[in-house]
Amino acid sequence: MLVKLFGNLRQHTGQLAVTASGTTIGEVLQDLCAAYPSLEKAIFDSDQLQAHVRVMVNGHDIELAHGLDTPVSETDQIAVFPPIAGG
Amino acid sequence: MQGWTGKILDIDLSSGSINTQPLDKEMARLYLGGRGLGGRLLWDLVGPEVDPLAPENVLIFTTGPITATGVQTSNRFNVSTKSPLTGTLLHSNSGGWWGMQFKRTGYDALIVRGKAPEPVMITITPEEVTIEDATHLWGKTVFETTEALGQDRNKRNVLCIGPAGENLVRIAAIMNDRERALARGGPGAVMGSKNLKAIVVEGDAKNQPADKDQFKFMLYETRKLLKASPLTSQAFPEFGTAVVLNAVNEIGALPTRNFQQTQFEHAYEISGESITDKILVTNQACWACPITCTRLTKTSSGQEGEGPEFESTWAFGAQSGIDDLELIAEANYLANDLGLDTISMGNTIGCAMELAEKGFLPADLRFGQAEKLHDLIHDTAYRRGLGDDLAEGSYRLAEKFGAPQLSMSVKKLEMPAYDPRGMQGQGLVYATSNRGACHETGNMLGPEVLALPRLIDRFATQGKAGIVSVHQDSAAVVDSLVYCKFVNLAVAEEFFARTLTAITGIRFTADDLMKVGERVWTLERLYNLREGFTAEDDTLPDRMLNEPVADGPSQGFTANLAPMLEEYYQFRGWDENGVPKPEKLQELGLADLVAVA
């Protein structure tokens, strides 16, 4: 499925959108980190997401779903944001 | 009285008189400075009988007790006046250097009254204050004026209006340090109505803290916290404020084509990431700021300047259906040079585009016409052709052409870059903001989207009133001290209180500060009530309340304002009509004000 990586996370993949697979968002992100190993430190702190890293499935933050256990399917759009702020 | 100079400069442009009056110490303790002090002074000086563009309106420039101390972001200042766009109390604050420099001239505040018979400028130094002829500057742009008056970043700073302010455009900004803006609500038009072109400041007085050792410690601790936070040490320097554009778009809350959609298909092309990739020259900082969020950019045509910030990018971009980043950046440079509020300008252009597309406005104007941005902005500042209608802001524009419902504004102030249907709390912020639709008075982007300090359900309404109220009070504190709100991402009120204590020698706690915030908020509410505003004005555009989002992550939602508003009034200690109850006024020390109203 399509995963978009914003901000400085793009540096790890060299592009905005990449593909990865898995049945939960945690598996998808691990698959991504296997393909782009430097990404792991930017996203994960041990087995949890880094503070301020936001992951959304179809525009909905996984924290309000089932966290890294949130189920995903091939048609889902995933977005990962590093720590950001603004306004 | 450390932290404050204890002096207010009071200039009457009608008579040419220049006076100094003492700052009331108790007023300083209760309202601190900036927005709080400005609002309190405005309460006494400008009543409901005063037209915002009449000589009887005043401009009150205020600094805070932290200004010019050197504590991180202690560069900011505020202007308070009655808004010619909304008719409400208006406060607006800006960074850069001017605020710091003004404080160094030895004053906490400047009141400008009356109207000069011919264009004038004011120069303020510790030794003297002069009012001089500025006929030769009238008609010049902001950049021309700033250069002509010898802007020198750390020594001599220029605040001025451009053609928009001179032409009484209701969305005109006051600009300082070339590209910094006191923008929202049209303060530039008030300055223009006074025939005041510029205020130049050159100072050397130090704002020395009462407890130097403790102050140094707080500086060190604040620096440490700002460095430790990835938000203030990485996100802002790398991508600037527009880095949030993709996130707001992703969740389906990025207003697009005058809020008809909530996602822009070209969001990435105009985002902070693309600004960094395509037009960024370098990042910059205001005085005493380690965050360095400012973008210095340059387009392929050779134009360069600061920005665009998130809101400006959105206003000239998604709101207008435009995806050409270079033209958006150039529109931003032009709006700054002519002295316009970029949020209201872009929002009003989007409104005009929808009016034209739907046949209300007889103009060849469509969403996505990037090539028309320049002329629309230019004509607004000079009130030429359609620009004369745009200069009135989106509400008056849409009303004139028979479709006021197409103005995306609250209390006639154009809404910024968040759609309340996808962020319910933000809708409550817009509806209750004392200066009209504004995110800066209690932005819910943090809790509703970025999990700052923690994530809450953006579609929920129950419990939002309390969170919004606390955010609003906190923003009023920051605006009164005057800090930059971005510091607040890493540093909490407890730190502000300890720093303020070190500077002033007066013990402040975080609770004390939050009480100041509530006092400031309530005072502003009282001001608007005195002007005739009612609970009916605490609302949102019909589109937000009754048109569900058609698709995307916010599909099916409208802004469910009524239950939040009811809860909000209760939480604030106001009655069902949105009027603060006597016991609340007593608690905040505001009862005397209402008794004399």
Asked whether the beta carbons of residue B242 and residue A64 sit closer than 8 angstroms, the reply is no
Q: What is the pLDDT of residues B418-451, one digit of tens each?
A: 999 999 999 999 999 999 999 999 999 999 999 9
- Which residue in the set A7, A59, A87 is minimally distant from B251, CB to CB? A59
At B280, give phi and psi (nearest 5°). -70, 130
Instruction: Specify whether B317 is located in the same domain as B452.
Output: no
Residue B461's alpha-carbon distances to B101, B342, B564, B569, in angstroms, are 44, 30, 6, 14
- Which residue in the set B238, B250, B451 is minimally distant from A79, CB to CB? B250
Instruction: Specify whether B160 is located in the same domain as B268.
Output: no
Element (H, E) at B121: strand B120-124
Evaluate whether residue A25 is within a structural domain. yes
Evaluate whether residue A76 is within a structural domain. yes
Instruction: Specify whether B264 is located in the same domain as B336.
Output: yes
User: Which of B244, B314, B487, B557 best probes binding to A when mutated, by most A CB atoms within 10 angstroms?
Assistant: B244
Evaluate whether residue B230 is within a structural domain. no
Q: What is the pLDDT of residues B202-214, one digit of tens each?
A: 999 989 999 999 9
Looking at B414, B438, B462, the residue that finishes a domain is: B414
Question: How many domains does chain B divide into?
Answer: 3
Among chain B residues, CA nearest to A10: B273
Instruction: Specify whether B398 is located in the same domain as B429.
Output: no
Report the candidate in B448, B452, B413 with the shortest Cα–Cα distance to residue B431: B413
Domain CATH for B156: 3.60.9.10
Is B133 a residue whose pLDDT tops 70?
Answer: yes
Q: What is the pLDDT of residues B45-95, one digit of tens each?
A: 999 999 999 999 999 999 999 999 999 999 999 999 999 999 999 999 999
Residues of chain A positioned with their CB less than 8 A from the CB of B555: none
- Confidence at B596, pLDDT banded by 50, 70, 90: low
Looking at B353, B384, B414, the residue that finishes a domain is: B414
What average pLDDT score do residues A47-57 get?
A: 96
- Confidence at A86, pLDDT banded by 50, 70, 90: confident
Residue B103's alpha-carbon distances to B113, B201, B497, in angstroms, are 20, 9, 21
Neighbours of B495 (CB within 10 A): 17
Residues of chain A positioned with their CB less than 8 A from the CB of B489: 85
Instruction: Specify whether B482 is located in the same domain as B343.
Output: no
Tell me if chain A has a CB within 8 Å of the CB of B311. Answer: yes
Evaluate whether residue B228 is within a structural domain. no
Evaluate whether residue B300 is within a structural domain. yes
**ipTM over 0.95 threshold:** yes
Evaluate whether residue B590 is within a structural domain. yes
pLDDT winner (highest mean) among B127-131, B229-233, B234-238: B127-131
Q: What is the pLDDT of residues B485-501, one digit of tens each?
A: 999 999 999 999 999 99
What average pLDDT score do residues B556-562 get?
A: 98
At B202, give phi and psi (nearest 5°). -145, 110
Instruction: Specify whether B153 is located in the same domain as B96.
Output: yes
Instruction: Specify whether B279 is located in the same domain as B298.
Output: yes
Residues of chain B positioned with their CB less than 8 A from the CB of A8: 234, 238-239
Give the gap in angstroms from C-alpha A7 to the nearest C-alpha of chain B. Answer: 6
Residues of chain A positioned with their CB less than 8 A from the CB of B234: 8, 82-83
Domain CATH for B324: 1.10.569.10
Evaluate whether residue B580 is within a structural domain. yes
Q: Poorest-confidence range of B194-198, B232-236, B279-283, B591-595?
A: B591-595
What average pLDDT score do residues B307-327 get?
A: 98
Q: Are B342 and B183 in contact (CB under 8 A)?
A: yes
Among chain A residues, CA nearest to B449: A61
Instruction: Specify whether B34 is located in the same domain as B71.
Output: yes
pLDDT at B240: 94
Of all residues in chain B, the percent with pLDDT exceeding 90 is: 98
Is B597 a residue whose pLDDT tops 60?
Answer: no
Instruction: Specify whether B464 is located in the same domain as B336.
Output: no
Evaluate whether residue B497 is within a structural domain. no
Is B540 a residue whose pLDDT tops 90?
Answer: yes
Looking at B152, B173, B201, the residue that finishes a domain is: B201
Among chain A residues, CA nearest to B249: A59
| A→B interface, C-beta within 8 Å | 6-8, 10, 16, 51-52, 54, 56, 58-61, 63-64, 79, 81-87
- Which residue in the set A51, A64, A84 is minimally distant from B243, CB to CB? A84
Report the candidate in B70, B57, B64, B44 with the shortest Cα–Cα distance to residue B4: B64
The one-letter code for the residue type at B137 is L
Is B595 a residue whose pLDDT tops 80?
Answer: no
Task: Look up the domain containing B93 and give its range.
Answer: 7-201
Instruction: Specify whether B410 is located in the same domain as B429.
Output: no
Average pLDDT score over chain B: 97
Evaluate whether residue A28 is within a structural domain. yes
pLDDT at A87: 78
Instruction: Specify whether B483 is located in the same domain as B393.
Output: no
Residues of chain A positioned with their CB less than 8 A from the CB of B446: 85
Give the gap in angstroms from C-alpha B19 to the nearest C-alpha of chain A. Answer: 39
Q: What is the pLDDT of residues B469-481, one digit of tens each?
A: 999 999 999 999 9
Domain CATH for A14: 3.10.20.30
Tell me if chain A has a CB within 8 Å of the CB of B405. Answer: no
Give the gap in angstroms from C-alpha A70 to the nearest C-alpha of chain B. Answer: 16
Asked whether the beta carbons of residue B451 and residue A7 sit closer than 8 angstroms, the reply is no
Element (H, E) at B510: helix B510-530
- Confidence at B394, pLDDT banded by 50, 70, 90: very high
Tokens at B378, concatenated:
């230019």
Evaluate whether residue A87 is within a structural domain. no
Domain CATH for B583: 1.10.599.10
What average pLDDT score do residues B10-22 get?
A: 98
Instruction: Specify whether B482 is located in the same domain as B397.
Output: no
For residues B249 and B265, give the distance between their C-alpha atoms in angstroms, rounded to a whole number.
Answer: 9
pLDDT at B55: 98
For residues B415 and A13, give the distance between their C-alpha atoms in angstroms, rounded to a whole number.
Answer: 36
Q: Are B238 and B276 in contact (CB under 8 A)?
A: yes
- Confidence at B404, pLDDT banded by 50, 70, 90: very high
Task: Look up the domain containing A18 and give its range.
Answer: 2-81
For residues B295 and A86, give the distance between their C-alpha atoms in angstroms, rounded to a whole number.
Answer: 13
- Confidence at B594, pLDDT banded by 50, 70, 90: confident
